[in-house]
């Protein structure tokens, strides 16, 4: 069952199994933009023993913990069930059935008239410990894309390639590089992470570490053939990493079978272990710079993770040179002068506040 959420100019579809933001459709300049990726297989094609979320792999979901965990890859939020509960107009609220490190997890999706964004927050109420957390958005880029980012300290791959026997990874692992346009490849050359695709039939994962001076964390995915632009926005003081999953025909086993192509994961989070070299350092360079390496729960309170995902028309196809928040307007600028100004909730990301939420009033029984 798909739970619908809409406002003027935007429609969202939510599926409770796996907590998936499955559909996002933005009406902008008389055009419908539907940027989210959906895997090309049916649920019965997924082998027994695979992570449950592979049966419905699509859209955007919460990974907590991101990576391996006791409840399967990407944790109970990605593989379990969510209970949709009453919420106000323009908001969809769901509660995870089961706990994460003892925390109750609440998901909220909200939309506003004429805003091309879905506003997301995940609240961890209580619990004890720290864990890697990220949004796991998947963008459909069947015709290629141009990527731009807020300022990064460096880019880094995992400790080991994603695929070595059942497929192919083509970046060098583990490696670090400051220039995303010249990231080391396994064959001794370099690739340009500002482009998708940059290779044939590969499965790769690389993370960018935010500059601590950044006020707004952003990722812009321009889809020139579609004439649009996908934006992922975050508070870099809460989520210091932008992680790119390049899934482009690099897995040869079921259910992937070489057909999972044109998928770009844009995963914003606090996930130290994806840094194959930096995670081995003591102290690690995130902690040393005052950036959160993980999300730390509060046994007596609520911790929240916020994220904004949206799309706008961008017929010029220009790469994005800048994204600036000024009050309730977001200005996107192209590298050859294109510009769009779109409405946004100025305070949503809490850029002037810390990442500990005020207590959430619960008007329903958990």
Q: Distance between CA 365 and CA 103 in Å, rounded?
A: 15
Q: Distance between CA 315 and CA 164 in Å, rounded?
A: 39
Among 3-17, 234-248, 341-355, where is mean pLDDT lowest? Answer: 341-355
Residue 362, pLDDT above cutoff 70: no
Residue 354, pLDDT above cutoff 60: no
Provide the residue ranges of all domains of the chain, joining segments of one domain with +: 2-343
How far lies 107's CA from each of 96, 121, 142, 199, in Å? 8, 6, 30, 36
Please state, for a pLDDT cut of 90, what percent of the chain lies above it: 93
What is the maximal distance between C-alpha atoms in the chain?
Answer: 58
Among 3-7, 258-262, 358-362, where is mean pLDDT lowest? Answer: 358-362
* Residue whose tokens read 């964004």: 117
Per-residue pLDDT of 87-130, as tens digits, reads 888 999 999 999 999 999 999 999 999 999 999 999 999 999 99
Q: Indicate if the alpha-carbon torsion angle 316, 149, 258, 24 is positive or negative.
A: negative
* Residue whose tokens read 């969202």: 12
Give the per-residue pLDDT at 21: 98
For domain 2-343, the question of CATH label 3.30.465.10 is answered with no
Per-residue pLDDT of 192-247, as tens digits, reads 999 999 999 999 999 999 999 999 999 999 999 999 999 999 999 999 999 999 99
């Amino acid at each position: 069952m798909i739970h619908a959420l809409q406002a003027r100019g935007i429609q969202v579809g939510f599926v409770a199994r796996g907590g998936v933001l499955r559909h996002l459709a933005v009406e902008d300049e008389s055009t419908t933009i539907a940027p989210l990726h959906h895997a090309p297989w049916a649920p019965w094609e997924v082998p027994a023993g695979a992570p449950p979320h592979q049966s419905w792999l699509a859209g955007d979901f919460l990974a907590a913990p991101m990576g391996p965990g006791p409840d399967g890859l990407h944790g109970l939020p990605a593989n379990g069930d969510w209970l949709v509960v009453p919420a106000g107009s323009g908001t969809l609220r769901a509660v995870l059935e089961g706990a994460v490190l003892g925390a109750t997890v609440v998901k909220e999706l909200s939309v506003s008239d004429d805003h091309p964004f879905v506003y997301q927050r995940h609240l961890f109420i209580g619990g004890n410990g720290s864990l890697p957390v990220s949004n796991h958005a998947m963008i459909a880029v069947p015709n290629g894309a141009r990527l731009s980012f807020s300022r990064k300290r460096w880019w880094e791959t995992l400790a080991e390639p994603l695929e070595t026997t059942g497929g192919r990874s083509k970046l060098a692992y583990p490696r670090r590089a400051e220039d995303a346009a010249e990231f080391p490849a396994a064959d001794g050359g370099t690739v340009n992470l500002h482009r998708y695709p940059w290779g044939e039939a590969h499965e790769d994962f690389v993370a960018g570490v935010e500059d601590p001076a950044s006020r707004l964390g952003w990722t812009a995915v321009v889809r020139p053939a579609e004439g649009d632009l996908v934006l992922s926005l975050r508070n870099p003081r809460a989520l210091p990493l932008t992680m790119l999953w390049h899934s482009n025909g690099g897995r040869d086993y079921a259910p992937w079978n070489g057909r999972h192509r044109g998928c770009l994961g844009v995963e914003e989070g606090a996930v130290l272990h994806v840094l194959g070299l930096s995670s081995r350092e003591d102290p690690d360079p995130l902690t040393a710079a005052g950036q959160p390496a993980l999300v730390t729960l509060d046994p007596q309170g609520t911790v929240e993770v916020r994220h904004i995902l949206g799309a706008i028309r961008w017929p010029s196809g220009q790469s994005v040179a800048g994204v600036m928040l000024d009050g309730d307007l977001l200005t996107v600028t192209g590298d050859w002068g294109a510009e769009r100004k779109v409405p946004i909730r100025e305070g949503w990301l809490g850029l002037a506040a810390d990442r500990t939420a005020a207590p959430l009033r619960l008007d329903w029984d958990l």
